Structure 1
Amino acid sequence: MVDRAVTVPGADRPQNIRNVALVGPTGAGKTTLVEALLHAAGEIKRPGSVEEGTTVSDHDEVEIRQRRSVHLTVNPVMVGDVKVNLLDTPGYADFVGAMRAGLRGADAALFVVSALDGVDGRTRMLWEECAAVGMPRAVAVTKVDHPRADFDEVVGQCQEAFGPGVHAAYVPAVEGSGDQRELVGLWGLVSERYYDYSDGGGPGTAPSSCPAPEWLRGQAGPLRETLIEEVITESEDEALMDRYMAGGELDPDLLIEDLKKAVAAGGFHPVLATSPTRGVGVRELLRELPLSCPDPTRRPFPPVARPDGRPVGGLSCDPDGPLVAEVLSTTSDPYVGRISLVRVFSGTLAPDAGVHLHGHGVRTGLGNAEELDRTGEDERLGSLSVPLGRRTSPVGEVIAGDLCLVSKLPAARTGDTLSAPELPLRVSPWRFPDPMLPVAVSAASASDEDKLSHAVSRVVAEDPSLRVRVNPETHQMVLWSLGEAHLDAALDRLEHRYGVRVRTEEVRIPLRETFTVPGQGTGRNVKQSGGHGEFGVCRIRVEPLESGAGLEFVDRVVGGVVPRQYVPSVEKGIRAQMADGVDDGYPLVDLRVTLYDGRAHSVDSSDMAFQKAGRLALRDAASASELAVLEPVDTVAVEVDDAFLGAVLSDLSARRGRVVGTETVAGGRIVIRAEVPELEIVRYAVELRSVSHGTGVFTRDYLRHERLPEHVGHRRARARGTA
């Protein structure tokens, strides 16, 4: 998205690579910080610039920003001889799938927190997610130059939200108060270097280094003492601890080495103050990334197995090892075709090399255990390149620990493993979020009809956080997404990338009906119009069964009034009528149907005649009996912060939900288990986010069908049902 001034060279060994994912909510300033880092390194001419020599309209700029807000983007930058891959992840909750892909490709996470907004519940959840996998983390506080910014308060919020180990490493020097508040410098607590920004600074301004003012040393001195103790403790450097306890001088270079160990171990998390728009703290952060973030050789190798499931051990981040790479994301370009962002864990990728592609399968629908198990196929790589803003630059080989773009892998899906054809392997997949917001889609025109299925399958292959399923009862194609923004992005790709216009409509809930009391019916199919006619008569008794019993067909015919060969025909007709429903068109379920009498004709009776008679008999019994509408009920598990427990419970109660239990899980969060009608939770993914301030997540699975309460009314059911 930005204009490059130089070309980033490839890394020559894994120890000279750093993969850092920038994580944080929308509005925290992740993309602005990335651009400031690229500008400070001389990789782009100015923050936010586009390619020189091209005309970019306002619409193009908006499109570029939107694309960056929903996709994982990678920006490599050279810091000395170290290549730092900055993975800019989406901040909006709807695109958590791309965020997790960024964490999968990274070896450390940089949490970006706004000094104005502080730490929200969603950011705290992401921190816990990184902690669960042992991801090293640091914090960059942005917008510290704003008059309302309070760096100390934000650090306190981080310590409260993220737990122990969070300490300020760079603190801002601020003079004045209120509207007269001015950011004049930055002090590094480990190096004790003070960077003077009193001249106003700017994205292209390099600060001068000088001794820190005494007033700042007095204010931040206790923070430095706490920081040093924490660094030495987490790094387990006993010699340095003894020297520190004895009051001796500490070598800043030794402290920096200990800081690297502490961050890599995952127990220490430095906080750095920045103002990307003024360039304050950007160069300091750029220097810290290679020092504080671990290289790929120091991170645990993901679990790897052979296609038959046998685990493979002994792998490491070695360019000479067996090839193990993973597709982090896939996109389509109208000129190039499928482009895959790949992280190489072991071995070396080369252009035009043969690889084995192994997929883990994609779930086709909620509550559907069917997997599209793609056991593997051999492909030939296209060209390899690294992203350079809106352009790409071709590269020769890509070694273990690095990331690249691969073209001409049409079968590749996000999460697939690339390995050598002679040694096929698969990496254990990361956890994709389950989409919980359904919408029915259909082609807007006859010309779109032919392209719809193919285009939807392509979009789902690019984004495993989407699911698509054709409901066998309502016959709707249902697209499941993580939220409204996620859905809008998918529909936008369908129209503008694949040229398919779609209509959206509310999902119809698969309602059913059953008998509430026993009944009887007669099916009389007698037609004579000259020549061979139709003759079939049957009489049945119908009784309701318990939920989930299906159809129990009983033959009680005596005396051969219905010939043996036509009894299965009656059952077939009854089953067909149950599937079609009666008055309202809802399928009939859970019945015992007893065939006890009938009549046949030696010439005009046939299989089809008795099928029709069976249909007519069931319809006759239904017309004389009382039917009840059944609605589907899901088992729902809602995970939420304790502070929002009461609000979520009240909301579930208003949705006719029955809470069956609660439990406390890691991080002090609460899981509520309930049974809730599907009619009430079609848009729960959006509504829960509002009730829980973005901290709530839930899963759902079909449980059973239950009788629709009378007070809900058939009118509401029909409006959202199958009729």
Structure 2
Amino acid sequence: MTMSADLSLYRNIGIFAHVDAGKTTTTERILKLTGRIHKLGETHEGESTTDFMEQEAERGITIQSAAVSCFWKGHRFNVIDTPGHVDFTVEVYRSLKVLDGGIGVFCGSGGVEPQSETNWRYANDAEVARLIFINKLDRVGADFIRVTEQVKKVLGATPLIMVLPIGREDTFTGVVDLLTQKAYVWDNTGIPENFTVSDVPADMADDVEMYRQQLIETALEADDDLLMAYMDGEEPSIEEIKRCIRKGTRDLLFFPTYCGSAFKNKGMQLVLDAVVDYLPSPTEVDPQPLTDEEGNETGKFAIVSADEPFRALAFKIMDDRYGALTFVRVYSGVLNKGDTILNSFTGKTERVGRMVEMHADERNDLTTAQAGDIIALIGLKNVQTGHTLCDVKHPCTLEPMVFPEPVISISVTPKDKGSVEKMGIAIGKMVAEDPTFRVETDIDSGETILKGMGELHLDIKVDILKRTYGVDLVVGQPQVAYRETITQAIEDSYTHKKQSGGSGQFGKIDYRIRPGEQNSGFKFTSTVVGGSVPKEFFPAIEKGFATMMATGPLAGFEVLDVEVELFDGAFHAVDSSAIAFEIAAKGAFRQSMPKAGPQLLEPIMKVDVFTPEDHVGDVIGDLNRRRGMILGQESASTGVRIKANVPLAEMFGYISSLRTMTSGRGQFSMEFDHYAACPSNVAEGVIAKEKEKKAAKA
């Protein structure tokens, strides 16, 4: 049985934007217009439907992307609200994998802000077609055309201007639809349905004509025949133009651009119509490639069709008052309640007990789902974000997910004995939800170490532990994830022998240790000839070196980018064993690494600061004091963007000093860029501190 006819009526879309561009309000309005909420919530009153965690309501930011289904003009929208803050980009990234299209929301006065750039880049990598919605046009300083220019300059994208605003700032009343040349004007009640459609205001006629020509010329780039006819003076029909816009949008040639005020409910219907008209259905998107365990593509694809074997990707895990929810995008096949499915990552099967479609905090039970659906499964046991769920008879892997390594850690200890177990259970749930959040136990001190992507990321985790799980913690100072490496090549030899009655242990290795390529990790090669060390001992030697890479010679941090070459050695017919050679390798590491010019590395962050013009000097001076390298600056209409590389160690508490310097108007975002050598004075301090810690523990 095929149900593919229905799929053309599906739109899986994400809404993404910079913090404060009004993304959650936009999502709210979409849900309201599509009849899914009766009472509107406002973010700034702290009650919006998709933000149902306490932290979100309080901070006014969306932390978790919630998936919601709704309907518009006979089409089914699955809307995923993604977080905009940089510490949560992994959420954005994961949401993009399961979307077919998106709406990028920008603030009419703030314009294209640093974070929007990261999210935009992710969306380009994932080849997601997008509309642009320029919001908050009722704000002071809002300027639609200026923001479209920024989209060109900062994002390097072509905005396809579909509407022009009527009025500016507090006189903004509606928009002119360039294709139909009709004006949509809303009254001041804030009720989205209260609008009238009329002719273009006389004073806008010239602009409308000019932008309409631009629109048609750009759109027709998607169809050479129509473009030629147009050049010969033949005006295409609205249907033909729409078809071109649809194709060009899907091929990322341009991005249909709309404007309005989500808060005042002006201009939203046109955006919803555009989702139907221009964003692709699940079958119009290139299908997801299947991969093997290592992540290499197999050349097969998950074709979006109900007739194919079942394949789905778990893209988000949430724990709420009903138990663990696993959000799943079904790529192909059909899933029925009661089915047994395979998790290809763990190799274990899971039984589908309940499946639901979500509407923020409410849910409807389903008995079946099919290709193109985004649903939540309740009560799956061992599924984590990024796992593939599939038909037991047709195992497969949808792209494996690669998550960035955490760069910052804090130690936490529960305030009382009763919280210890509570904390363990809570942290287990949180790790399943967020793969960039890691937890370790410090073996010597017994402290719990939380690791994450930035200060805000960990702040919020501690907050969730306190509020959601009621675990009170004593939080240590944030710690930077330093690494170590070596700078010189060295040739050396090590013999391990032990004789104690009966058979002894013996293993001799001759080896070279040298600095590896950047980001190469640990590499082991053997050039032994003539069997002076038998092949069967190579894995043990490699394991010995590899396990030692976890604790470097300087201060015990993990070691990066080292190559070890085994070129000779000796063995004993009776006394040699794998364990003897593993011990030899460990001893060799201890003996030789300190002689190979060990060096401390620190994480360098890519920092993007936005500041009003009159504070540029202060901000740059401050970044220099933080050992930053200024990479460039560009002025925008509302201020200056400064790009720099700055060591993470110098960035603690940066947000409060930036706010002080810029009287509260500065913003910044940062993400991990690379590891670089620590200057010797800094390195000495770090090493001394680590030694003190060890001494204190001893």
Q: TM-score, normalised by structure 2?
A: 0.72
Q: Does 1:315 align with 2:302?
A: yes
- How far does residue 405 in structure 1 lie from its aligned partner after superposition? 0.9
Structure 1 counterpart of 2:118, which letter?
M
- How far does residue 285 in structure 1 lie from its aligned partner after superposition? 0.9
- How far does residue 400 in structure 1 lie from its aligned partner after superposition? 0.8
- How far does residue 482 in structure 1 lie from its aligned partner after superposition? 2.0
Q: Does 1:301 align with 2:290?
A: no
Aligned to 1:258: 244
Summarize the Cα distance change of 1:81–1:509 in structure 2 as closer, same or farther, 3 Å threshold: closer
Summarize the Cα distance change of 1:656–1:484 in structure 2 as closer, same or farther, 3 Å threshold: closer
Aligned to 1:324: 311
- How far does residue 242 in structure 1 lie from its aligned partner after superposition? 2.8
Indicate which of 406, 412, 425 corresponds to 1:435: 406
Aligned to 1:503: 474
- How far does residue 715 in structure 1 lie from its aligned partner after superposition? 8.0
Higher RCO, Cα 8 Å, sep 6+: 1
Summarize the Cα distance change of 1:454–1:551 in structure 2 as closer, same or farther, 3 Å threshold: farther
Indicate which of 11, 26, 32 corresponds to 1:33: 26
Aligned to 2:276: 290
Q: Secondary structure at the match of 2:102?
A: strand
Aligned mates of 2:267, 2:116 — CA distance in 1: 22
Structure 2 counterpart of 1:265, which letter?
D
Aligned mates of 1:712, 1:61 — CA distance in 2: 40
Q: 1:388-427 counterparts in 2 under 5 A?
A: 388-427=359-398
Q: Does 1:450 align with 2:421?
A: yes
Aligned to 2:528: none
Q: Secondary structure at the match of 2:175?
A: strand
Structure 1 counterpart of 2:178, which letter?
L
Per-residue CA shift, 1:669-719, capped at 9, x if unaligned? 999999x7x9x468499799999953542245698x997679859986677
Indicate which of 69, 80, 84 corresponds to 2:73: 80
Structure 2 counterpart of 1:170, which letter?
V
Contact 2:609 2:667 in 1 (8 A): no
Aligned mates of 2:482, 2:100 — CA distance in 1: 48
Indicate which of 163, 172, 195 corresponds to 1:183: 172
Alignment RMSD? 4.7
Aligned mates of 2:686, 2:375 — CA distance in 1: 57
Per-residue CA shift, 1:239-264, capped at 9, x if unaligned? 32233222233311221111111101
- How far does residue 385 in structure 1 lie from its aligned partner after superposition? 1.1
Aligned mates of 1:385, 1:49 — CA distance in 2: 26
Contact 2:431 2:437 in 1 (8 A): yes
Summarize the Cα distance change of 1:99–1:65 in structure 2 as closer, same or farther, 3 Å threshold: farther
Aligned to 2:260: 274
Structure 2 counterpart of 1:193, which letter?
K
Summarize the Cα distance change of 1:49–1:395 in structure 2 as closer, same or farther, 3 Å threshold: farther
Q: Secondary structure at the match of 2:330?
A: strand
- How far does residue 301 in structure 1 lie from its aligned partner after superposition? 1.9
Q: Pick which of 216-225 and 281-290 moved more.
A: 216-225
- How far does residue 203 in structure 1 lie from its aligned partner after superposition? 2.8
Per-residue CA shift, 1:384-417, capped at 9, x if unaligned? 1111232111122211111011101021111111
Structure 2 counterpart of 1:633, which letter?
L
Summarize the Cα distance change of 1:208–1:445 in structure 2 as closer, same or farther, 3 Å threshold: same
Contact 1:510 1:632 in 2 (8 A): no
Aligned mates of 2:467, 2:54 — CA distance in 1: 16
Indicate which of 195, 202, 209 corresponds to 1:221: 209
Per-residue CA shift, 1:447-474, capped at 9, x if unaligned? 2223433432321111112112234566
- How far does residue 116 in structure 1 lie from its aligned partner after superposition? 1.8
Q: 1:139-154 counterparts in 2 under 5 A?
A: 139-154=132-147
Q: TM-score, normalised by structure 1?
A: 0.70
Q: Which sections of structure 2, spanning at least 5 residues, go unmatched?
A: 506-547, 549-553, 558-593, 633-640
Aligned mates of 1:15, 1:713 — CA distance in 2: 59
Larger-gyration structure (1/2): 1
Q: Secondary structure at the match of 2:302?
A: coil
Q: Pick which of 61-70 and 213-222 moved more.
A: 61-70
Structure 2 counterpart of 1:378, which letter?
T
Structure 1 counterpart of 2:129, which letter?
P
Q: Does 1:378 align with 2:366?
A: no
Aligned mates of 1:507, 1:480 — CA distance in 2: 10
Contact 1:11 1:82 in 2 (8 A): no
Contact 2:86 2:669 in 1 (8 A): no
Q: 1:276-675 counterparts in 2 under 5 A?
A: 276-307=262-293, 311=298, 313-334=300-321, 336-359=322-345, 375-472=346-443, 476-506=447-477, 633-634=600-601, 636-639=603-606
Per-residue CA shift, 1:292-350, capped at 9, x if unaligned? 1111111122221355877251431011111110111111123x321111111111122
Identity, % of aligned positions = 22
Aligned mates of 1:241, 1:159 — CA distance in 2: 23
Q: Pick which of 266-275 and 436-445 moved more.
A: 436-445
Aligned mates of 2:684, 2:405 — CA distance in 1: 33
Q: 1:684-699 counterparts in 2 under 5 A?
A: 694-699=668-673
Q: Count residues in correspondence.
A: 585
Contact 2:609 2:668 in 1 (8 A): no
Per-residue CA shift, 1:30-63, capped at 9, x if unaligned? 111111122222222232189xxx9x9x999776
Q: Does 1:209 align with 2:180?
A: no
Q: Does 1:134 align with 2:127?
A: yes
Structure 1 counterpart of 2:391, which letter?
A
Q: Which sections of structure 1, spanning at least 5 residues, go unmatched?
A: 1-9, 360-374, 513-545, 556-561, 570-578, 580-584, 589-626, 664-668
Aligned mates of 2:476, 2:692 — CA distance in 1: 12
Structure 1 counterpart of 2:276, which letter?
P
Contact 1:11 1:17 in 2 (8 A): no
Structure 2 counterpart of 1:184, which letter?
T
Aligned to 1:22: 15
- How far does residue 232 in structure 1 lie from its aligned partner after superposition? 0.5
Q: Secondary structure at the match of 2:77?
A: strand
Structure 1 counterpart of 2:197, which letter?
S
Contact 2:52 2:361 in 1 (8 A): no
Per-residue CA shift, 1:585-607, capped at 9, x if unaligned? 9889xxxxxxxxxxxxxxxxxxx
Indicate which of 145, 148, 156 corresponds to 1:163: 156
Per-residue CA shift, 1:158-193, capped at 9, x if unaligned? 222222421311111117xx7xx5123311112322
